[in-house]
Amino acid sequence: MSDSLERLYRAVIAARTLDPATSRTARLFQHGPSKMAKKLAEEAIEVVIDAVGGKQDAVVRESADLLYNLTVLWAAAGICPQDVWDEMDRRERTQGIAEKLPKQKAAIKTGPAGIPAPRRRVLARPAATR
């Protein structure tokens, strides 16, 4: 996965200065960080909506869009993928990801795509209906 993201990052860096009329990436750089952040947030919302709806193919497609937009935001912020891999390595060393994986909990109810089912919120009834 990190190889694909590294390649995508390099493609995004190369596209920054292309003609905005033909390059989405150049267009995003022309608009700036607010537009990039908005696109990233939109794609994240699409991923969670599709995941909750159990639409696996759409989750895959939207995840690819999400990673593209994350990569664009990294590039604009002067962050390279290696910075993120380094932080992940640091966490793995200091927090011992593998050792700390939770044991299988028998009673976790899952919804579509294995996502824990949302907890039902019990709303207080208006006084008149009690």
In the complex, the residues that contact ligand PRT under the rule CB under 6 A are 8, 11-12, 15, 18, 23-25, 64-65, 68
Residue 110 DSSP label: B
Instruction: Give me 3's structure tokens.
Output: 């190889």
Q: How far is the CB of 107 from ligand PRT (least distance, A)?
A: 38
- Residue number with CB closer to ligand PRT (16 or 52): 16
- Residue number with CB closer to ligand PRT (24 or 55): 24
Whether residue 19 contacts residue 25, with contact meaning beta carbons closer than 8 Å, is answered with no
Q: How far is the CB of 76 from ligand PRT (least distance, A)?
A: 13
User: CA 4 to CA 105: how far, in whole Å?
Assistant: 33
- Residue number with CB closer to ligand PRT (41 or 117): 41
Q: How far is the CB of 16 from ligand PRT (least distance, A)?
A: 9
Q: Which of 84, 81, 71 is nearest to 25 (CA)?
A: 71
Q: How far is the CB of 46 from ligand PRT (least distance, A)?
A: 7
- Residue number with CB closer to ligand PRT (68 or 74): 68
Alpha helices in 53-96 (DSSP H): 56-77, 81-95
Whether residue 69 contacts residue 62, with contact meaning beta carbons closer than 8 Å, is answered with no
